[in-house]
């Protein structure tokens, strides 16, 4: 199976830092080996919690939503130990000790919103919350973060006795010193990617697969899995081996697909015949015969990040009218038609519009799905000139600071650098169009190509003089962890670790918090509408991938959450 161009797997421990957080490391690598407490998605289109594939039964909410009880199923680790309540407490203790180093942490949320937690029995964990919560939100966006960790990981040195690190029984009394020591050791192991397939630490698994080989190479067969004979769940893997191949660009990947080197790969947009209207797949298969084509949607949003804390351009980004003007230079429909050949659709807010769901607010469906700010160079230009900007040498320049907005100095130019991910032909075309269209409104974008992993490493909140990046364009966000209900706390809440651009708005924070305590769809859509109107990110067109699968490989499903379950797949004669 092909990995996307430029993507290499580089983090195995399910306690993942922001610099390594992406769906390839999580849903398509770690979760094959180590199952989360609650699995989401299936071998098909579902975006719901999957209790049959989860390590615990459905959580039980009592005390008006202030107490949550989880009962483990008694599955086994490959070393014979049970996946039990202590393994859940181990993860929660690690969060208490190192929450700032976990990509899903949001101040005030897990573990800050817990009054207490404990294992009340070998297979029972009880959480007492500080206030009542929405059962949907807490299950989908808080319990979903937990991955039970085995006693074999509760160590501070290679070969140490399982559990000797003491993190699973640590407390705040010693300032979580035992967990800190375990964290430091485990982080060092996770950083040593070359040893993933040989380090005994990573051989203790509870998922359906275990590693047989691992390479850090940028191309070729990089990661192979074989069945875990101790897997407690169902179904058991039917394939003898499952291998990822890495590619530096999509042209090389497509050549491998055409020559039969892959059983599952994607067809680059430039190699697909155009589609229009309601057509999803091409009328003619560009590969001829031997493969079955399938659309693969992502339950996510596409955007590029802007850095509100950058000392040069940040004050301008903080002005809503500036963000609106930038958004109105994005010809999403034109890009979908000309670059993605019809295999896409606009992004218009913080909620995915495909696959269709109850979460989408009406404002995101306005203007043919472009939302409240459709493409218009003339409107973008008028917005800027009416707020004190004048085009000087082809670039909008603030000439009347009193109109430009707080913090925007006279002479400030609406010019910024965009680091963008390389290796994908359509992406290169998109940023070129983006730069050209923005220039028509006097907005200057300076393009800097970078690898996907490099940009992900840059995408962290910053402040002060060292806050040098201005905008990052690497794709977007799929709601497949740390949250599966598309609420805004991981991306838009003040202080969230994944809020790399440091967007901050008190009304946004309030509306997000309301979704945490109410199951009301009306409450959710108030949040979603405000987000679409406020433009914390600059929305870009989203797309779906056309996958080609060997005709002899059966029961292959592509999940919108990127949940990958190759244990369901099998070869036929």
Span 358-368, pLDDT tens digits: 899 999 999 99
**Which domains, ranges and CATH numbers included, belong to the chain?**
18-190 (3.90.76.10), 209-287+548-571 (no CATH), 300-543 (3.10.105.10)
What is residue 355's predicted lDDT score, i.e. its pLDDT?
85
Span 505-518, pLDDT tens digits: 999 999 999 999 99
Task: Report how far residue 78's alpha carbon sits from residue 231's, in angstroms, rounded to the nearest whole number.
Answer: 7
Span 229-276, pLDDT tens digits: 999 999 999 999 999 999 999 999 999 999 999 999 999 988 999 999
What is residue 547's predicted lDDT score, i.e. its pLDDT?
97
Average pLDDT over residues 410-439: 93
Identify the three-state secondary structure at position 129: strand
For 211-218, which contacts have Cβ atoms below 8 Å and span 24 or more sequence positions? 211/33, 212/241, 214/9, 216/8, 216/10, 217/8, 217/246, 218/8, 218/246, 218/248
Average pLDDT over residues 399-418: 98
Average pLDDT over residues 326-340: 95
For the record, the structure tokens of 406 come out as 């707080």
What is residue 481's predicted lDDT score, i.e. its pLDDT?
83
Higher pLDDT, 189 or 424: 189
pLDDT-derived band at 482 (thresholds 50, 70, 90) equals: confident
What is residue 6's predicted lDDT score, i.e. its pLDDT?
85
Longest dimension (CA), the chain: 74
| This prediction's pTM | 0.88
Share of the chain above pLDDT 70, in %: 100
Do strands 114-121 and 124-129 pair parallel, antiparallel, or not at all (unpaired)?
antiparallel
Span 486-499, pLDDT tens digits: 999 989 999 998 89
Is residue 116 over pLDDT 80?
yes
Average pLDDT over residues 435-459: 94
Average pLDDT over residues 119-144: 97
Share of the chain above pLDDT 90, in %: 91
For the record, the structure tokens of 397 come out as 């320049």
Is residue 182 over pLDDT 80?
yes
Count of other CB atoms within 10 angstroms of residue 239:
18
What is residue 510's predicted lDDT score, i.e. its pLDDT?
97
pLDDT-derived band at 156 (thresholds 50, 70, 90) equals: very high
Is residue 453 over pLDDT 90?
no
Count of other CB atoms within 10 angstroms of residue 115:
11
Is residue 446 over pLDDT 90?
yes
* Residue from 194, 5, 168 nearest 83 by CA: 168
Q: Sign of torsion, CA 84 90 96 101?
A: negative
What is residue 426's predicted lDDT score, i.e. its pLDDT?
80
Is residue 571 over pLDDT 90?
yes
* Whole-number Cα distances in Å, 289 to 202, 260, 293: 40, 11, 10
- Asked if residues 101 and 13 have their Cβ atoms less than 8 Å apart, the reply is no
Q: Which residues of 546-565 are buried (b: 16+ CB within 10 A; e: fewer)?
A: bbbbbeebeebbbbbbbbbb
What are the beta bridge partners of residue 302? 476
Average pLDDT over residues 189-209: 98
CB-count burial class (<10 Å; 0-12, 13-18, 19+) for 517:
middle
DSSP letters spanning 183-246: HHHHHHHHH-GGGTTT-GGGG---SSEEEEEE---SSEEEEEEEE-TT--SSSPP-SS-EEEEE
Q: Sign of torsion, CA 326 329 333 338?
A: negative
pLDDT-derived band at 424 (thresholds 50, 70, 90) equals: confident
What is residue 456's predicted lDDT score, i.e. its pLDDT?
87
What are the beta bridge partners of residue 449? 420
pLDDT-derived band at 227 (thresholds 50, 70, 90) equals: very high
* Residue from 389, 379, 403 nearest 444 by CA: 389
Span 54-91, pLDDT tens digits: 999 999 999 999 999 999 999 999 999 999 999 999 99
Task: Report how far residue 164's alpha carbon sits from residue 153's, in angstroms, rounded to the nearest whole number.
Answer: 9
Taking all residues of the chain, what is their mean pLDDT, rounded to a whole number? 96
pLDDT-derived band at 185 (thresholds 50, 70, 90) equals: very high
């Amino acid at each position: 199976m092909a990995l996307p161009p430029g993507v290499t797997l580089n983090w195995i421990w399910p306690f993942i830092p922001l610099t390594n957080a992406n769906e390839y490391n999580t849903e398509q690598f770690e979760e094959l080996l180590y199952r989360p407490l609650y699995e989401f998605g299936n071998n098909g289109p579902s975006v719901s919690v999957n209790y049959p594939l989860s390590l615990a039964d459905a959580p039980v909410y009592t005390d008006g939503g202030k107490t949550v009880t989880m009962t483990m199923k008694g599955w086994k680790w490959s070393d014979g130990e049970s996946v039990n309540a202590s393994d859940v407490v181990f993860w929660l203790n690690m969060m208490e000790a190192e929450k700032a180093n976990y990509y899903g942490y949001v101040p005030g949320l897990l573990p800050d919103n817990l009054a207490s937690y404990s294992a009340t029995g070998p297979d029972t964990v009880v959480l007492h919350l500080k206030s009542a919560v929405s059962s949907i939100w807490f299950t989908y966006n808080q319990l979903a973060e937990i991955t039970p960790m085995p006693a074999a990981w509760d160590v501070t040195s290679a070969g140490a006795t399982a559990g000797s690190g003491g993190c699973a029984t640590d407390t705040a009394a010693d300032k979580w010193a035992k967990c800190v020591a375990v964290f430091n050791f485990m982080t060092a192991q996770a950083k040593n990617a070359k040893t993933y397939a040989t380090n005994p630490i990573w051989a203790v698994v509870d998922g359906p697969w275990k590693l047989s080989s691992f390479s850090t190479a940028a191309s070729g067969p990089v990661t192979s899995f074989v069945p875990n004979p101790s897997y407690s769940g169902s179904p058991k893997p039917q394939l003898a081996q499952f291998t990822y191949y890495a590619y530096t660009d999509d042209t090389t990947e497509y050549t491998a697909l055409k020559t039969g080197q892959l059983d599952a790969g994607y067809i680059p947009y430039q190699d697909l015949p155009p589609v229009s209207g309601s057509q999803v797949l091409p009328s003619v298969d560009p590969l001829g015969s031997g493969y079955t084509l399938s659309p693969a949607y992502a339950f996510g949003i596409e955007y590029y990040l802007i850095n509100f804390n950058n000392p040069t351009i940040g004050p301008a980004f903080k002005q809503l009218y500036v963000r609106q003007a930038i958004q109105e230079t994005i010809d999403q429909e034109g890009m979908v038609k000309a670059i993605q050949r019809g295999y896409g659709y606009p992004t218009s807010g913080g909620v995915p519009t495909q696959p269709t769901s109850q979460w989408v607010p009406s404002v995101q469906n306005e203007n043919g799905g472009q939302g409240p700010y459709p493409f218009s160079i003339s409107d973008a230009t008028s917005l800027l000139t009416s707020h004190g900007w004048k085009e000087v040498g082809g670039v909008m320049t603030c000439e009347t600071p009193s109109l430009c907005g707080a913090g925007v100095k006279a002479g400030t130019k609406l010019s910024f650098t965009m680091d963008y991910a390389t290796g994908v032909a359509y992406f290169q075309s998109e940023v070129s169009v983006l730069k050209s269209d923005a220039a028509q409104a006097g907005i200057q974008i300076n393009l800097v190509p970078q690898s996907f992993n490099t940009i992900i490493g840059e995408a962290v909140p910053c402040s002060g003089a060292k806050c040098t990046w201005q905008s990052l364009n690497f794709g977007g966000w799929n709601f497949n962890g740390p949250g599966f209900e598309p609420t805004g706390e991981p991306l838009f809440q003040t202080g969230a670790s994944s809020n790399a651009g440091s967007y901050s708005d008190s009304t946004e924070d309030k509306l997000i918090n309301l979704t945490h305590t109410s199951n009301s769809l009306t409450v959710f859509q108030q949040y979603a509408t405000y987000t679409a109107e406020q433009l914390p990110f600059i929305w870009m067109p989203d797309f779906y991938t056309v996958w080609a699968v060997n005709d002899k490989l059966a029961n292959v499903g592509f999940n919108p959450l990127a949940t990958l379950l190759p244990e369901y797949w099998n070869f036929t004669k």
